[in-house]
């Protein structure tokens, strides 16, 4: 399994022993790439060099020392580095980081430069090494970088422009560390809420997730300006998020039709805006591991979707064809399978066996040279597009905005716009009286880690010693807004509870704020068997509710944990997802009315752990067992979220009642803020196909727009749709729009159009 051996690297010793490196970090580093023409280069490369380009190792392979030992950390090991570069000509390095969040910008630059300097001497025609990292919600492995809300929260903003800005900053701060490749965004659809990586998705809906995918790729790449952008990596092609058990990397059963209907479009959208790289699903679909699936990796990805970038494996996944999936008897067979299926680069990542085996396979004629050349060309093109042949590393001074207030303001805005108000009885929120006595409790109240989640300074994000300095927890931010805030944690995340003291302290309060949370986790460590929130947290709310005081719940969850038993005991529910480093401030400001919540759920919030019905479920699913004709009984609806102000919709107009081939239809609506506060509203247009050859969904999102309206202001919102917006995958696996009636639905308005 992955990365339990992770590293903190002290480069100081290495650099003092190697004087030529001391000035590396203080100047741009570019010299020494005599050949920049890719075809010429390939014609001169040996098979060892070509295979080297196709391999990616972990930093641990070129370092030595104690794992995660801050006092005696690992160091780059020169002889291991020479083996990797001179003998194996490794083309890419990655790391995952226990403590890599402690590496400063300058140290990152030294690490990357040291690798590149060694690499210059590894061949007569050196090729820059491409370093890749998981900058999942900001440059989370660079000390002092800006951390954003996790993807699920970004989706809840329904604001693609904001998501694009967050990704631009993430790219800027990743590149500032000398790293040109980011393993992000996750484009797997979040339709299995149990999945430990649910928070890394853009939620359950194809239309929303597609626009977030486009925003993220555009923000990261801007195709590709060398200094401030990075190559994005679409993850994890294809069907990774929908395992039957909900456990990470376990088998999925998805028909080809559903695969194309639900799980493919985000990748398609990302490719259409030029996504440069893709990472492959570690799991298997319908019994075939995706790393060995020619139909998915070549026929679909290359021939049909015309993807021309680099396909990298996930962690050690070629070897998993032997020891997890059992579709290959030996590693050699596995290497052949994966390469012939369409893999370009193997995240090996702990040894060089992949290189040895692939060289053997080519030498004995089992894999043609031409297949190798194809992948090498893609990899070298990527390096060229990223400008690595010109400037591998830039000066830290080229990044004056790194970690700036300007950047954290964007993170604050994203956290604020994500916050989704799910309940607000008798307008208990916002709390306008700053002198009210508040009692704050719950495991998420005073923890920055629970706001950030996994991929924060460390892989699992649980270690608070690396936290960004100066960022406020919910409690600290509430104390900045209110004069009287009393705090007791009250429960741990899942086992210890101190009801008595909590009740005693809460007795004197005017309002009780309970901050519920989930341990930061991802991948296999995040597997759970039950979506229900741990009993102690539910009990804490239950006991406090007996005091008959207003209770405000704040939820910071990786996935929609079931809270049905306490929903009625709360007066307000502030759903914050994993809002990142600025989340504490955003939540406290929302409670104090400094910001007006405008987030909308990007997923259906289930009421019961086994009741997973999506909002866009099939009409036939409504044949519920009790004849109530409605299978969809969520705790909270997809797209739902309240505001402190009120919006009225009027003047619904549809430009035409028929829609044919190349036409488009405009749907306009007047939105008026007739409440008492300025606010933002998300206009959501849904449709229903009345009759179709595949059972249609009861409704589907087709367009949306977020608007910002001052008190009393009105705006006409125009949404455009074309015929293809009503398309679906038919039984022959073709995307079609069938002739017939489509019902458009916007707020309470409905209008039928005829599509020809
Ligand atoms: C994860 C990927 C990640 C990679 C490198 C894998 O275990 O599934 O999402 O990019 O590790 O850290």
Q: Residue 673 Cα, ligand 1 centroid: separation in angstroms?
A: 44
Q: Residue 113 Cα, ligand 1 centroid: separation in angstroms?
A: 24
Q: Ligand 1, from 136, 314, 320, 522: best to mutate by most atoms within 8 Å of Cβ? A: 314
Q: Does residue 59's CB lie within 6 angstroms of at least one atom of ligand 1?
A: no
Q: What is the pLDDT of residues 659-699, one digit of tens each?
A: 998 899 999 999 999 999 999 999 999 999 999 999 999 99
CA-proximal residue: ligand 1, atom 10 (nearest) = 183
Report the residue count for the chain. 756
Please give the pLDDT value at position 124: 84
Q: Does residue 317's CB lie within 6 angstroms of at least one atom of ligand 1?
A: no
As a whole number, mean pLDDT of residues 507-534 equals: 97
Q: Residue 154: which of 241, 215, 223, 237 has the closest Cα?
A: 215
The Cα 194–Cα 529 span in angstroms is: 8
Q: In sequence order, what are the beta bridge partners of 636?
A: 605
23 CB burial (10 A radius; 0-12, 13-18, 19+): exposed
Q: What is the pLDDT of residues 259-290, one digit of tens each?
A: 999 999 999 999 999 999 999 999 999 999 99
Q: In sequence order, what are the beta bridge partners of 735?
A: 729
The Cα 447–Cα 421 span in angstroms is: 21
Q: What is the pLDDT of residues 725-740, one digit of tens each?
A: 999 999 999 999 999 9
Please give the pLDDT value at position 462: 92
Please give the pLDDT value at position 69: 52
- pLDDT bin (cut points 50, 70, 90) of residue 24 is very low
The Cα 723–Cα 430 span in angstroms is: 43
Please give the pLDDT value at position 223: 75
Atom of ligand 1 nearest to the CA of 184: 10
Task: Dig out the tokens for 663 from the structure.
Answer: 């036409």
Atom of ligand 1 nearest to the CA of 96: 12
Q: In sequence order, what are the beta bridge partners of 347?
A: 56
Q: What is the pLDDT of residues 572-592, one digit of tens each?
A: 999 999 999 999 999 999 999
Q: Which residues does 386 contact at the CB level (< 8 Å), separation at least 6?
A: 130, 180, 181, 224, 226, 230, 231
Q: Does residue 315's CB lie within 6 angstroms of at least one atom of ligand 1?
A: yes
Taking 60 as the threshold, does the pLDDT of residue 25 lie above it?
no
> What are the distances in angstroms from CA 646 to CA 421, 576, 641, 673, 736?
13, 21, 12, 6, 39
Atom of ligand 1 nearest to the CA of 233: 10
Taking 90 as the threshold, does the pLDDT of residue 26 lie above it?
no
* 50 touches 373 (CB < 8 A): yes
Catalytic hit among 134, 314, 571, 589: 314
The Cα 670–Cα 21 span in angstroms is: 63
Taking 70 as the threshold, does the pLDDT of residue 330 lie above it?
yes
Taking 60 as the threshold, does the pLDDT of residue 476 lie above it?
yes
Task: Dig out the tokens for 387 from the structure.
Answer: 């400008």
DSSP codes of every residue in 314-347: -TTHHHHHHHTS---SSHHHHHHHHHHHT--BEE
> What are the distances in angstroms from CA 526 to CA 5, 209, 384, 635?
18, 23, 37, 23
The Cα 229–Cα 174 span in angstroms is: 8
The Cα 258–Cα 88 span in angstroms is: 42
Q: How crowded is residue 56: how many other Cβ atoms within 10 Å of its Cβ?
A: 24
Proportion of the chain above pLDDT 90, given as a percent: 83
- Indicate the pTM of the whole model: 0.95
Q: Residue 378 Cα, ligand 1 centroid: separation in angstroms?
A: 21
Q: Does residue 525's CB lie within 6 angstroms of at least one atom of ligand 1?
A: no
Q: What is the pLDDT of residues 593-620, one digit of tens each?
A: 999 999 999 999 999 998 899 999 988 8
Please give the pLDDT value at position 647: 98
The two beta strands, 437-441 and 679-689, are unpaired
Q: Establish how many alpha carbons lie within 13 A of residue 383's alpha carbon, considering only the half-sphere containing its beta carbon.
A: 28
Taking 80 as the threshold, does the pLDDT of residue 135 lie above it?
yes
Please give the pLDDT value at position 615: 96
SS3 299: helix
Q: Does residue 249's CB lie within 6 angstroms of at least one atom of ligand 1?
A: no
Q: Does residue 455's CB lie within 6 angstroms of at least one atom of ligand 1?
A: no
Q: Helices (DSSP H) in 581-660: which residue ranges?
A: 583-591
Q: Residue 127 Cα, ligand 1 centroid: separation in angstroms?
A: 25
Task: Dig out the tokens for 536 from the structure.
Answer: 């102690």
- pLDDT bin (cut points 50, 70, 90) of residue 224 is confident
Q: What is the pLDDT of residues 542-562, one digit of tens each?
A: 999 999 999 999 999 999 999
Q: Which residues does 370 contact at the CB level (< 8 Å), separation at least 6?
A: none
Please give the pLDDT value at position 624: 62
Q: Which helix (H) or strand (E) holds 478?
A: helix 474-481
> What are the distances in angstroms from CA 80 to CA 24, 61, 77, 94, 666?
21, 7, 5, 15, 62
The Cα 586–Cα 611 span in angstroms is: 31
Q: Does residue 607's CB lie within 6 angstroms of at least one atom of ligand 1?
A: no
Please give the pLDDT value at position 100: 55
Q: How crowded is residue 121: how many other Cβ atoms within 10 Å of its Cβ?
A: 12
SS3 712: coil
Taking 60 as the threshold, does the pLDDT of residue 347 lie above it?
yes
Please give the pLDDT value at position 76: 82
* 526 touches 558 (CB < 8 A): yes
CA-CA-CA-CA torsion sign (262, 263, 264, 270): positive
Taking 80 as the threshold, does the pLDDT of residue 392 lie above it?
no
The pair phi, psi for residue 552, each rounded to 5°, is -110, 120
Mean pLDDT over the full length of the chain: 92
Q: What is the pLDDT of residues 65-106, one digit of tens each?
A: 654 555 555 678 889 999 999 999 999 999 876 555 568 888
Q: Ligand 1, from 197, 241, 315: best to mutate by most atoms within 8 Å of Cβ? A: 315
Q: Which residues does 239 contact at the CB level (< 8 Å), separation at least 6?
A: 188, 252, 254, 259, 263, 281, 283, 285, 290
- Can you state the angle between helices 583-591 and 474-481, rounded to 10 degrees? 40
Look up tokens 């679906």; give the residue.
728
Task: Dig out the tokens for 451 from the structure.
Answer: 């706001």
Q: Residue 574: which of 494, 518, 614, 516 has the closest Cα?
A: 516
Q: Does residue 523's CB lie within 6 angstroms of at least one atom of ligand 1?
A: yes
The Cα 81–Cα 385 span in angstroms is: 26
Q: Does residue 197's CB lie within 6 angstroms of at least one atom of ligand 1?
A: no
> What are the distances in angstroms from CA 635 to CA 352, 601, 681?
50, 11, 21
As a whole number, mean pLDDT of residues 493-522 equals: 96
Q: Which helix (H) or strand (E) holds 475?
A: helix 474-481
Look up 314 and say whether it is catalytic: yes
Please give the pLDDT value at position 2: 55
Q: In sequence order, what are the beta bridge partners of 659?
A: 755
Q: Which residues does 365 contact at the CB level (< 8 Å), separation at least 6?
A: none
Q: Residue 315 Cα, ligand 1 centroid: separation in angstroms?
A: 6
As a whole number, mean pLDDT of residues 168-174 equals: 97
Look up tokens 């990261």; give the residue.
220
3-state helix, strand, coil in the chain (%, to 5): 35, 20, 45
Q: Residue 561 Cα, ligand 1 centroid: separation in angstroms?
A: 24
Q: Does residue 618's CB lie within 6 angstroms of at least one atom of ligand 1?
A: no
Nearest 10 degrees: Cα torsion 725, 638, 560, 149: 70
The Cα 315–Cα 318 span in angstroms is: 8
Please give the pLDDT value at position 465: 85
Proportion of the chain above pLDDT 70, given as a percent: 93
Q: Ligand 1, from 57, 183, 460: best to mutate by most atoms within 8 Å of Cβ? A: 183
Which segments within 406-489 are labelled E, that is strand? Answer: 420-424, 437-441, 484-487
Q: What is the pLDDT of residues 701-718, one digit of tens each?
A: 999 999 999 999 999 999
The Cα 627–Cα 235 span in angstroms is: 41
Q: Residue 146 Cα, ligand 1 centroid: separation in angstroms?
A: 21
Q: What is the pLDDT of residues 394-416, one digit of tens each?
A: 788 899 999 999 999 999 999 99
The Cα 53–Cα 376 span in angstroms is: 6
Task: Dig out the tokens for 314 from the structure.
Answer: 């996930």
């Amino acid at each position: 399994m992955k990365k339990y051996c992770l590293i903190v690297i002290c480069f100081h010793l290495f650099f003092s022993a190697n004087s030529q490196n001391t000035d590396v970090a203080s100047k741009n580093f570019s010299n020494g790439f005599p050949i920049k023409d890719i075809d010429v280069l390939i014609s001169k490369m040996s098979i060892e060099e070509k295979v080297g380009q196709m391999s990616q190792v972990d930093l641990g392979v070129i370092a030595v020392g104690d794992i995660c030992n801050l006092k005696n950390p690992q160091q780059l090991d020169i002889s291991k580095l020479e083996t990797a570069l001179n003998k194996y000509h490794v083309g890419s390095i990655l790391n995952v980081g226990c403590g890599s969040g402690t590496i400063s910008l300058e140290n990152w630059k030294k690490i990357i430069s040291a690798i590149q300097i060694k690499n210059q001497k590894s061949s007569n025609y050196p090729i820059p090494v491409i370093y890749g990292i998981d900058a999942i919600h900001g440059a989370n492995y660079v000390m002092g970088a800006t951390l954003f809300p996790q993807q699920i929260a970004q989706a809840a903003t329904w604001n693609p422009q904001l998501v694009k800005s967050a990704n631009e900053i993430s790219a800027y701060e990743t590149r500032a560390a000398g790293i040109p490749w980011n393993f992000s965004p996750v484009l797997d659809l979040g339709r299995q809420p149990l999945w430990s990586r649910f928070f890394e998705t853009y939620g359950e809906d194809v239309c929303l997730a597609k626009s977030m995918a486009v925003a993220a790729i555009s923000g990261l790449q801007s195709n590709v300006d060398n200094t401030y952008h990075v190559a994005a990596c679409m993850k994890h092609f294809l069907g990774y998020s929908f395992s039957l058990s909900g456990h990470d990397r376990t088998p999925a059963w998805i028909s080809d039709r559903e695969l194309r209907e639900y799980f493919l479009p985000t990748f398609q959208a990302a490719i259409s805006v030029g996504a440069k790289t893709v990472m492959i699903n570690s799991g298997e679909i319908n019994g075939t591991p995706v790393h060995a699936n020619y139909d998915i990796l070549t026929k679909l990805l290359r021939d049909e979707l015309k993807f021309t970038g680099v396909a990298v494996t996930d962690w050690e996944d070629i070897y998993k064809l032997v020891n997890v999936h059992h579709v290959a008897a030996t590693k050699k067979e596995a290497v052949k399978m994966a390469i012939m299926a369409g893999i370009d680069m193997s995240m090996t990542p702990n040894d060089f066996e992949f290189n040895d085996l692939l060289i053997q396979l080519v030498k004995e004629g089992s894999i043609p040279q031409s297949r190798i050349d194809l992948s090498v060309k893609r990899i070298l093109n990527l390096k060229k597009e990223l400008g690595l042949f010109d400037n591998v590393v830039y000066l830290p001074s080229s990044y004056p905005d790194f970690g700036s207030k300007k950047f954290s303001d964007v993170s604050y805005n994203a956290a604020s716009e994500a916050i989704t108000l799910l309940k607000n009885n008798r307008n208990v929120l916002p709390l306008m009286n700053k002198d009210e006595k508040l009692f704050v409790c719950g495991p998420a109240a005073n923890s920055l880690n629970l706001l950030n989640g996994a991929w924060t300074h460390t892989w699992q994000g649980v270690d608070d010693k690396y936290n960004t300095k100066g960022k406020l927890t919910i409690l600290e931010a509430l104390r900045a807004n209110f004069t009287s805030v009393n705090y007791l944690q009250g429960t741990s995340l899942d086992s210890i509870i101190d009801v008595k003291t909590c009740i005693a302290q809460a007795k004197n309060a005017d309002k009780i704020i309970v901050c519920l949370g989930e341990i930061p986790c991802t991948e296999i460590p995040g597997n759970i068997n039950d979506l229900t929130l741990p009993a102690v947290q539910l009990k804490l709310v239950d006991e406090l509710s007996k005091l008959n005081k207003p209770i405000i719940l704040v939820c910071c969850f990786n996935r929609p944990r079931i809270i049905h038993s306490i929903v009625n005991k709360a007066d307000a529910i502030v759903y914050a997802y994993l809002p990142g480093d600025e989340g504490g401030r955003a939540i406290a400001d929302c409670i104090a009315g400094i910001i007006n919540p405008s987030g909308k759920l990007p997923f259906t919030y289930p009421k019961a752990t086994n009741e997973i019905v999506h909002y866009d479920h099939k009409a036939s699913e409504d044949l519920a067992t009790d004849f109530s004709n409605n299978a969809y009984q969520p705790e909270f609806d997809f797209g739902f979220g309240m505001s402190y102000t009120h919006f009225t919709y009027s003047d619904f107009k549809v430009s035409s009642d028929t829609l044919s081939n190349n036409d488009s239809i405009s749907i306009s609506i007047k939105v008026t803020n007739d409440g008492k506060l300025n606010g933002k509203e998300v206009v959501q247009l849904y449709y229903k196909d009345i009759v179709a050859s595949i059972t249609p969904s009861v409704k589907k999102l087709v367009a949306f727009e977020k608007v910002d309206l001052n008190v009393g202001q009105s705006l006409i919102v125009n949404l455009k749709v074309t015929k293809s917006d009503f398309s679906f995958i038919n039984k022959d696996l073709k995307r079609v729009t069938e002739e017939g009636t489509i019902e458009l639905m916007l707020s309470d308005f409905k209008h039928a159009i005829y599509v020809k």
